[in-house]
Structure 1
Amino acid sequence: MKTFKWAAVALLFFALVSIVPGHSSAQFKFSDISPDKEYFDQVHYIAELGIVNKADKFNPGNNLTRAHAAKMLVIASGNADMPTPKVQFKDLKPGTEQYKFASRAVELGYFKKKADGSFGPNEKLKRDEMGYALSVAFNLSQSPTVDKPLMLTDMKDHPFAKEINGLYYGGVSQGDAGRFLPKDYLTRSQFALFVARALNDDYKLTVKLPEQTSRTYFAKVATGGDNLNVRTHPAVTGDVVTRLKDGEIVEVIGQTGDWLLVLIDGADGYIHSRYTVEVGTQAPSDDDVATDEPDEPEVSEPEITEPEVTEPEEEPNTPSPTTGLIGKVTTNVLNVRKSPDGTSAVVAKLSLNQKVNIESINGNWAKINLQSGPGYVHKNYLKLINQSGNVLKDRIIVIDAGHGGKDPGATSNKLSEKTVVLKVAKLVEAKLKNAGAKVLLTRSDDTFLSLEQRTAYAKKHYAETFVSIHVNAAGSSAAKGAEVFYDSSTNPNAKESKLLASKIQSNLVKNANMSDRGVKDQRFYVIRNNNVAAVLVELGFITNPDDFKKLSSEQYMELYAEAIYQGLVQYYAAP
């Protein structure tokens, strides 16, 4: 590039500006499209690309014909120079422009010949035909799933449902008030909008995926005696996959509008929130509760805090000797067993905050020496403290970058939560490794993991602390600041979690100059279903202008990582 002459650079710049969104009218403008029209930039954009002819008028309100659509799609998809296929049409003659583009469109699969062998070049194009052709041309088809349900209600059972669903999630078309209107005719301006969106991300519509949040809770079905339908997607057009009885309790893992995404026997589906009450937030009347259905179990700090489930799948390593390592008991009463086995005989009991010397660690079991001889305790209920050297050395810390893959998390101005938190997680990883910690990432690339997979990963690898990193969002741009969550509902290490949360939060406020939203007790899945010190960090609000600048800044990503790192250092340094 250094050898370019300034004149050449200037010519290149102006050539590019002519097709950049917002600048398409610099050299050419249709006389019948004013700048205030929704489709002004898009129409001129495709004109500059040669998809439509530059002429005095565009005739935006005219209906689009099949011949016009075929030509535009063939050019837009980069197939203008392909050899003309020999396709016989009852109503088109080889050698004509209509034949050239119609035969290519049929060969490419955008359109099909009619049953009588004709193409119908002058027939007005319907929206469902357009949706199919556009989806095939740009490879946008998307079968309806729980993650990407069919949101356009009038496309249920339509033969082009997956193609139209692809337009919705591709940011090309989101219909009209929840309907696609498949049999309506298409105007030239509408098609220009759709083609421009398919070609250029700057024109795409913002796609709101069904909300998948880390907060989970239990809801009780309250129908007054009727069964409640569970559907495949958040609309009454969703297929009914099962039914819930009045009084049943289900776990809610997400929400789309008034519809709750719930887990049922390992599968998921949608129920309407109108017929539920959140357990613990509202006391149901006697009529709401079936006598044979239990309320959400009360959680109390257990007397003996060893897991009743089988140990992690990963086999323990050979016992690792330790030097200068002590363990502080984090539960009221902790059994000391004769051997590293939850069924082994109890030889002693330890009390809250009691400190013991650790001789070795094997998987989840720590060997200690008592006056009566050696014994074993479950290390999940010990805070392991190094008496010399770096406090983080050999500590097993899991860093969880939220969202990922098909789940972008919160987004704003092309910045996604999944990207920000992965960068911060990797920076934290590097700092922890440099301090001698054994740090593990739940994901190290753009991969989707379920909430259950994240907690299972931590348990499988004998995690001693767990930090999940997220970015916040709100309907109002005024919401701003950092906050850190812990769980006291089921996590037996709630007090340790709260201490870790407070250390990280204070560093976020101090190091990154974040507004202080505090430390909060909340039932987020990944911290509620952990049994070690576990926190969920919300770095800031991607929907707030000030926080957005920080979240999109490499400098502040480093500051966020340093805050989390220092919080872990201070947590482990606390006696």
Structure 2
Amino acid sequence: MKTFKWAVITSLFFALVSIVPGHSSAKFQFSDIPTNKEYYEQVHYIADLNIVNQADKFNPGDKLTRAHAAKMLVIASDNQNMSVPSTQFKDLKPGTEQHNFASQAVALGFFNKQADGSFKPNEFIKRDEMGYALSKAFKLSEEISVEKPLMLRDMKGHKYAVQVNGLYYGGVTQGDAGNFLPNDYLTRSQFALFVARALNDTYKLPVKLPEQTSRTYFAKVVTGGDLLNVRTHPAVTGDVVHKLNDGDIVEVLGENGEWLSILINGKNGYIHGKFTKEVGTETPSDDDVAVDEPEVSEPEVTEPEIEEPEEEIVPTPSPTGLVGKVTASSLNIRKTASTSSAIVGKLSAGQKVDVVSLDGHWAKINTSSGTGYIHKNYLKLINKTGNPLNGRIIVIDAGHGGKDPGTSSNKMTESKITLNVAKRVEARLKRAGAKVLMTRSNDSYLTLEQRTNFAKNNYAESFVSIHVNSASPAAKGTEVYYDSSTNPNAAESKKLAAKIHNNIVKSANMADRGVRDQRFYVVRNNNVAAVLVELGFLSNAEDYKKLASDTYAEIYAEAIYQGLVQYYSED
């Protein structure tokens, strides 16, 4: 509930005592308002606050005049005791009640003095002017945005659209079948409803926010060759802010009925879902065939059991110096490298084992009863001697490429920048003895599914996707993403993301936009430590100079490399 000054609190207390929503027992009752009317409680509520006079009749169906509205809003906003400005109106006599309230209302910005010097106190007020006055009185303006789009269709382009949008999201009005009807006249009962809702949360309408899902993914535009409009809000009345080509891939942030909320060039918008297919569900063309999944069963992860394992696992040292730290809550040990093989024990999260050898997705380990096999995806492999990156299988994914250049500015494209940095990371990792796998080493196009399948098919142990951002000129800085929705190695992904992020921010002196959990395709469809790095914003002048510079490409590459070194150096 809004805070009232003491002058109003006393009367509000008695109003709430005498009027309980759903069961009103006011001390008095307007003779022309039956108890079954939807506005019965609200009218008596504002009457108890002395916003309207307690009289025999309320005349709920009468049209509201400007004088009535001015008086009610001045009192409802607790401004009736302010000094009366010496405003002159040609149609109001100074010292009268109408003049006093009109002067106060104009001074407070609820109404404007007419161009001819009049106030027009007896003129009926329309809903648009009422919306503006209510918004000013209760500070309910709301900028129209993707998060809070204009839900009342007939207010599009109206000079009071922002104010009425505030009333909608403030729970004051939902209009009539999606329209506000700005040119209709307002009745006294309607105004009583609006004022009561603005004053008291008890009477507010439940706000119908855009029904967005939390699922994010990437979708491909499928129009048969036509352009697809990107609009400001989920309706054909939304302004067109961008056009997508057939075959474009966009990030989907949520769904609002048939409309998809997307991120395009760092900005939000809406497209119609019937003209898209989620990446990975469309039928591939001859030059866009997805790589086959590796021939391996479901991950060897089981839920922890209450009872102790039948066999205590006592690893014996191996000569390789390679240790595996379990990243799953419970991991099966198999007799042979097969999911159909007998389970001979279990390992718990954080437990370490000496690794004898690696073969594809399987790690051979020593146990007290001999050797066993565990699924490598659920181990963080740590070298106890030599370079921590030696032998590690790391995928470096240069974002975009080929027909998908990504964002661009001044002829500098995202695909060019990411490949430049990725190759420098590759060189460093190779010198450290890592097995580096590049999803692309030239200006070629790969689907998102091909990138993640490439990692799985090559038994990757970590995955780093490199990108650059674009938004408003003011947006700048580095952010690194991981996924906790489907990636079973979310905790390890977050650790890797933090290491890389901190190094970039410090080494390249970038604004810190944080480490974020988001369902980007290439991180949520991976099953190892996977991160997506947004180096900076091409749309920002300061970031652009760095992103376009080979000097900073070296700095970014070194920072990513150091992040990987630090991640694999920790037990």
Partner residue of 1:150? 150
The CA RMSD measured in Å over matched residues stands at 4.2
Partner of 1:242: 242
Radius of gyration: which is bigger?
2
1:165 maps to which residue?
165
- The alpha-carbon distance between structure 1 residues 329 and 150, as it changes in their structure 2 partners (threshold 3 A), is closer
Asked whether the equivalents of residues 64 and 188 of structure 2 are also in contact (C-alpha less than 8 Å), the reply is yes
1:89 corresponds to: 89
* Aligned positions of 1:72-221 closer than 5 A: 72-221=72-221
Answering whether residue 365 of structure 2 is matched by residue 369 of structure 1, we say: no
Deviation at 1:97, TM superposition (A): 0.7
- Give me the whole-angstrom Cα distance separating, in 2, the residues matched to 1:207 and 1:116: 40
Equivalent residue number for residue 528 of structure 1: 524
Conserved 8 A contact 1:70-1:102? yes
| Aligned residue identity for 2:222 | A
Q: Residue 258 of structure 2 aligns with which residue?
A: 258
Q: Which range is displaced more, 217-226 or 116-125?
A: 217-226
Give the match for residue 5 of structure 1.
Answer: none
Q: Which residue of 2 aligns with 1:507?
A: none
CA deviation map 1:150-191 (0-9, x unaligned): 111111111111101111111111111111111110011110
State how far apart, in whole Å, the 2-side matches of 1:78 and 1:299 are.
Answer: 70
Q: CA deviation at 1:532?
A: 5.5
Cross-structure match for 2:376 = none
Whether contact under 8 Å (1:17, 1:24) holds in the other structure is no
Question: Deviation of residue 86 (structure 1)?
Answer: 0.7
Tell me, which stretches of 5 or more residues in structure 2 are unaligned? 1-10, 297-322, 332-336, 338-356, 367-378, 395-475, 494-517, 531-571
1 CA distance for matches of 2:12 and 2:121?
38
Work out the CA distance in 2 between the residues paired with 1:190 and 1:164.
15
| Residue type at the aligned position of 1:81 | N
Please state whether the residue corresponding to 1:214 is helix, strand or coil. coil
- Paired residue for 1:53? 53
1:78-128 CA distances to partner (integer Å, 9 max, x unpaired)? 111111111000100111110111000000000001110000000000000
Percentage identity across aligned positions? Answer: 64
| Contact 1:39–1:192 (8 Å) recurs in 2 | yes
* Number of corresponding residues: 351
Q: How does 1:469-508 map to 2 (within 5 A)?
A: 487=486, 491=487, 493=489
In structure 2, the partner of 1:278 is: 278
Q: Against the structure 1 CA distance between its residues 367 and 221, is the aligned structure 2 distance closer, same or farther, given a 3 Å change threshold?
A: closer
Gaps of 5+ in 1: 1-10, 304-324, 333-347, 357-363, 382-452, 460-465, 468-485, 498-521, 535-575
Q: Residues 242-267 of structure 1, C-alpha deviation per residue, up to 9 Å, x if partnerless?
A: 11122323221112222210122222
**1:218 positional shift:** 2.9
Distance in 1, matches of 2:42 and 2:105, equals: 23
Partner of 2:69: 69
Distance 1:234 1:93, change over 3 A: same
Give, in angstroms, the shift of residue 301 of structure 1: 6.2
| Structure 1 Cα separation of the partners of residues 522 and 195 of structure 2 | 41
1:473-511 deviation digits (Å, cap 9, x = unpaired): xxxxxxxxxxxxx52xxx4749999xxxxxxxxxxxxxx
How far, CA to CA, are the matches of 2:39 and 2:522 in structure 1? 44
Partner deviation per Cα, 1:310-362 (whole Å, 9 max, x = no partner): xxxxxxxxxxxxxxx85248899xxxxxxxxxxxxxxx967634569xxxxxx
Paired residues of 2:324 and 2:382 also in contact (CA < 8 A): no
In 2: Cα distance, 1:525 partner to 1:77 partner: 50
Partner SS, residue 230 of structure 2 = strand
Q: Name the CA distance, whole Å, in 1 between partners of 2:34 and 2:72.
A: 22
CA 96–248 in structure 1, closer or farther in 2 if over 3 Å, else same:
same
Cα pair distance change 1:523/1:86, threshold 3 Å: closer
Q: 1:250 to 1:94 in 2, by over 3 A?
A: same
User: Helix, strand or coil for the counterpart of 2:325?
Assistant: strand
1:295-310 alignment, distance < 5 Å: 300=293
